[in-house]
Structure formats: C-alpha cells, structure tokens
Amino acid sequence: NTFLLAHYQHVQYFYDLCYEVVMVVWAEIPFISNPIPNGFDNAISQMKELVIQNYNHPSIVVWGLSNEITIGGESEKLVEQHKTLNKLVKELDPTRLTTMAQVSMLKTTSEMNHISDVISYNHYFGWYGGETKDNGIWLDNFHKENPNRCLGVSEYGCEAILKWHSSNPDMGDYTEEYQSYYHHQLLETFRTRPYLWATHVWNMFDFGVDMRDEGGVKGRNNKGLVTYDRKTKKDSYYLYQAYWTTTPMIHIASKRYVNRCEDVTKVYVYSNQDEVSLYVNNKLFETKKCDKVVLFEVPLNKNLKIVAKANGISDKSFIKKVDKPDNSYILEKSNTGVTNWFDKDGNEVKLTFNEGYFSIKDKIKVIQEDEQAGKVFQAFMDKFVEIAKSQGMELPTGILKMMGSFT
C-alpha cells in the first residue's frame, strides 16, 4: 500500500492517482549519490517546492531528504546539509515525518542515521554481491545496535529478462527463475521482521538507463516486476499477488521455460489459497498445503500438460521434454559479473583467471583468511581509507565484515 517516488519531482497527476487508490507515498528530491559541487542551494529550492506544492496531498506520509547520498563517503558538511534540510521540512510541514534512503555501505552507527525521523536502506544482497540471507542478518544487526530507530528497506531487487531461464538459477544469470527465488527469500525476510516500518521493491517496471548494458539488453534496468512496455507481468509479479492480495489467485511459474531435459522437473505454484492441487496430463498428481509458494517435483519422461487448481480457480502450463539443454534460454556469462550502476566505465573487459592465484571471482572472506593475500588486501584497504580521510570522507571500514561473502 505504498509508493516510493524516487528520485525526483513527480507529476501531480500521479499524486492524484495515489489518493484515488489510497496509497501511502514517500516523496523525495533528487539529492542523490555524489552531491554536485555548489549545488546545495538547488537542493534547498527543490525541497521547498516539493513540500509547498504537495502539502495538501493526503497520501504523502514522509518527505525524503536524499538517496544513497554517501556513495562518495561521509563528511561533516554532508551531515550539516541534511540537518538543514530536515529543519527546513519541519518548518514547512511539522505534521509529517522525514526520511532518508541510505546506501548499504553506510555504517550502522553513522550520524547520518540520526537526522531524519525514520530511515531506510537500499540493499541488494543476493544480486550485486553476497547472498539473500545477508539481508536478514544485516537488518537484525542494525535493529540490535539501534533498537529505537525506525528502520525500513527503500530498495531491493534483481534483474530478470523474459528469455532467460534455468532449472538451477543462480545470482547474476538474469533468469526469471532467479528473480522469483530472490523475491521469495526477501518477502520471507520481511514477513518475519515486523520491526520494519516499510519495504519498497525496486522496481515495479523495467526502466530506461542510458549507460546500462546488462543481461543482453542495452539501455535498460530490468529489475521490474513488469516489462518496460507495461504489457507482460514477470513471475515475480504474481509472487507479490500471493503475498499481498486477498482476491483468490493462482499462478504456475516458468511458463516461458518450455523446453526442459531433466528427469524430474520443478513446478512452482504461487497462490493465496491454503491448498493447491496439481494435475499432470489430466490426472491428479498431488495436493499440497500452500503458504504463498508450493513446489511440486514432477517426473519428466514425456511432454507435460500442467494444471494447478485451488478453491475453484486454476492456471495451466506446458512443458516439452527435450534431449539436451536448450541453449537459447541461457545467457552467456561475462567474466565481469553484474555491473553496479555507479561504475562509470561500463566497458566489458574479457579477463583470464590463472590457476593458483586469487581473482575477482574469489570471496573477500577467503582472501582475508589467506596469510599472504590477507596482508595485501588489508594494506590496500588501509591506503584507501587514508586517502578518503585526507579528502574529508569517513569510509565504513567495518563493512568488510559484512562483505565477507561478496566477491
């Protein structure tokens, strides 16, 4: 029941739609990433305009001061600028809360987390690095260290492109199956942590980004639950229906993954009903209890017509038995992995990896634990921190402990 309107001014028509369908709104200004030199006056101007122009919109609950503003590091100047923005908003509108969307690398003890009324973090553990389980670990750690701070998740997500599929999805493969796995894990993480004030999935729709070139698609961020043209709902969209809606629904995942060669294939069904029955080639295969997601493991020795039924509703799918993997479903993996959007040089470089040497494929924890490599890595980090401090920035060195599972 909430929209994060990121990261710029939005048309009034959209606010009116939010009011019409009773959605809670987080509205924010484009004070983002690395502050523009001498650009703070513009941030002040935009904050005034945002609040004054939209003060009477009842859907707005929080005013956003900034997004991932510490990507370039922390500084006393940045802290003071946010205190100024927060004070300004409180003077213009004492009735609403203020918030910030922090970047993962910002340390949990940062003063930046104690300026606005509430805060949220943008986390992509399980996509840009780490594992999906790291999200819950991080959230619990923050909550333990800051039990009186109201914490949320302002961005989380991963990319899926409709033509890529796998029976064994993995981080960075851009398959619909991995995106569904990721969102299922995150929804379970949030469901079991009631202390979160809000969570915002990134993003409802695929959207254009000029410098991106990922997953075989140029100029696009593919994290949407729905395609760029707003026409096709990805499997993850129906996963959210199962979790968030009460109107009876059922959906068989991976319909676009038709050609399969395994002896036993996995059939995932999403539903908000308590029980699901699966029919295979017109015969009842199995009935199972359902808690949003139910898995059926079906022998695949011939073509399969699949029908899932629950409480008078149904969905159908078709699986074709083939002799070998269909390579048209598989994205040829790049050695460079998933690219962060803030990496300015998006040019792909073909890399070679020699036996007996560490590389960017190895996890930080493994490198740190090696006697020789650990010293080299720590020396690099110490120099990095020293340079940052000389430029007035305090970098979150403690993040390395959390990043142990990152490459």
Give dist(CA 277, CA 289) in Å, integer: 9
Residues in the chain: 407
- Catalytic pick among 68, 155, 176, 214: 68
Task: Mark whether 68 is an active-site residue.
Answer: yes
CB atoms closer than 10 angstroms to residue 360: 10
Tally of CA atoms within 13 A in the half-sphere of 182 that contains its CB: 33
Provide DSSP, 168-224. S--TTS--HHHHHHHHHHHHHHHHT-TT-S-B--S-SB-EEEEEEEETTEEEEE---
User: What does the block give as tokens for 344?
Assistant: 């300015």
| φ/ψ of residue 163, rounded to 5 | -85, -10
- CA neighbor of 198 nearest in space, from 186, 206, 190: 190
Is the separation of the CB atoms in 346 and 212 below 8 Å?
Answer: yes
Partner residues linked to 277 by β-bridges: 287, 309
Task: Scan for tokens 């924010």, then name that residue.
Answer: 28
* Segment (H or E) for 289: strand 283-289
Rounded (10°) angle between helices 176-191 and 235-244: 20
Which residues participate in catalysis according to the annotation? 68
